[in-house]
Structure 1
Amino acid sequence: MTAAVFDHDGPWTEEEYLALGETQQRVELFDWSLYLTPAPTPRHQRIQRKLGNILEAATRGTGLELLECVNVRLKPGRIPIPDLVLTDAIDFDEPIVEARTVRLVCEVISPSNAATDKVLKMHYYAAAEIEWYLLVEQESGTLHLYRRHGRHYREQSVTKPGDVLELIEPVRARIRPEDLLP
């Protein structure tokens, strides 16, 4: 993949992006440019897995699917890879999930790229009309739940360790921050 990335000239098409295939790094497409980050830390992965387990259990009987680290097309040329998404029914053989099917997107904030999750992706997800956005702080486990209001998100709740997030949309789930942390 390294040669393909560094030998490439100009903007990336979606076809070129998808042709990179699966990689050890997280490679996202933001406005026809690649954005690379290293694999998540073990802490990040544990939080993501524990949160995914809770959300997956909550999807039973709802018709929704929980997916981890999938390509989500927000618009042409803009394909992030969120940590977790809850979607309506999708085609599991397609390499891209369309934003219109995503009901909730979750990101575990990495200290090395916190601004990406808190600013850039938040703006992009809201512009793509994804209704719910859940951010998890790695160090404290604090949960920030946002709901879309027009083309922006408004914070609905902040849940710190010792408290419980009572998620009622798009699924019903009780999330205790301390249950996510190592």
Structure 2
Amino acid sequence: MTVTNPARPGWGDAWTVDDLQALPEDDQVYEIFDGSLLVSPHADVFHGAIANRLRRILDRQAPAGLLVGQDIGVSAKRSSYFVPDLFVARESALASGGAALDPSDVLLVVEVISPSNAGRDLVLKRHEYAAAGIGRYWLVEPRKQTLTVLANGPGGYREQALLPVGEIYRTDEPFPLALPLADIF
């Protein structure tokens, strides 16, 4: 759901990352696209389980200096802010203590596709993350039990691989890893 006319001080102005600090801590995920507030419910248990399994696998293989994280937003530009299901970033980026990660510090974002927000992950975030210069974008599709691996280049993200549940994804980006897809679904 998109909320563009919430009651708040300065109504009529574009939303910024700073405005999010005044919102309630509830069961919603708040993001911003081009100054408009986007509100979504938190993920269900199945969605969360997939994200957590994937995070554990990435954590075990991530080298020192890289952080695999959740629940921290990425400021795609001043008027856009997204909260990926998972990310890999330079650990030094956390020292700034800002409201969001700078996309130049983010090496990978991962979204677990929810039926209610599929368009946001497949189109909107894909475009915005690519425009922000984030090198890798993974799309995990629970219903199909697939992983789509996208790499950023001229013209945006291009599909590098589409892997079904029985495969093991091996890569050197964002760090050397072997990911058995059966372990996340």
Same fold (TM over 0.5): yes
Alpha-carbon distance between aligned partners in 2 of 1:169 and 1:17, rounded to the nearest angstrom: 32
Alpha-carbon distance between aligned partners in 1 of 2:62 and 2:98, rounded to the nearest angstrom: 21
Tell me what 2:17 maps to.
14
Alpha-carbon distance between aligned partners in 1 of 2:22 and 2:79, rounded to the nearest angstrom: 14
Alpha-carbon distance between aligned partners in 2 of 1:116 and 1:14, rounded to the nearest angstrom: 19
C-alpha contact (below 8 Å) 2:165/2:182 kept by paired residues? yes
| Aligned Cα root-mean-square deviation (Å) | 1.5
- With over 3 angstroms needed to count, the CA separation of the structure-2 counterparts of 1:6 and 1:95, relative to structure 1, is same
Paired residues in the alignment total 176
Alpha-carbon distance between aligned partners in 2 of 1:166 and 1:113, rounded to the nearest angstrom: 28
Tell me what 2:106 maps to.
102
C-alpha contact (below 8 Å) 1:84/1:106 kept by paired residues? yes
C-alpha contact (below 8 Å) 1:54/1:173 kept by paired residues? no
Alpha-carbon distance between aligned partners in 2 of 1:138 and 1:50, rounded to the nearest angstrom: 13
In structure 1, the gaps of 5 or more residues are none
TM-score normalised by L of structure 2: 0.89
State yes or no: 1:153 paired with 2:157. yes
User: Per-residue deviation at 1:23?
Assistant: 3.3
Alpha-carbon distance between aligned partners in 2 of 1:162 and 1:12, rounded to the nearest angstrom: 43
AA matched with 1:74: A
Select which of 69, 72, 75 maps to 1:73.
Answer: 75
In structure 2, the gaps of 5 or more residues are none
Select which of 131, 134, 140 maps to 1:130.
Answer: 134
Show the 5 A alignment for 1:107-122: 107-122=111-126
Show the 5 A alignment for 1:41-56: 41-56=44-59
User: Per-residue deviation at 1:21?
Assistant: 5.6
C-alpha contact (below 8 Å) 1:129/1:151 kept by paired residues? no
- With over 3 angstroms needed to count, the CA separation of the structure-2 counterparts of 1:14 and 1:95, relative to structure 1, is closer
Alpha-carbon distance between aligned partners in 1 of 2:51 and 2:30, rounded to the nearest angstrom: 18
Secondary structure, aligned partner of 2:101: strand
Show the 5 A alignment for 1:19-38: 19-20=22-23, 22-38=25-41
Secondary structure, aligned partner of 2:104: helix
Q: Deviations over 1:100-146 (max 9, x none)?
A: 10000100000111111111000000000100000000123200000
User: Per-residue deviation at 1:177?
Assistant: 2.0
TM-score normalised by L of structure 1: 0.91
C-alpha contact (below 8 Å) 1:126/1:153 kept by paired residues? yes
User: Per-residue deviation at 1:173?
Assistant: 1.7
| Percent of aligned pairs sharing the same letter | 34
Bigger mean CA deviation after superposition, 8-17 or 113-122: 8-17
Alpha-carbon distance between aligned partners in 2 of 1:129 and 1:150, rounded to the nearest angstrom: 10
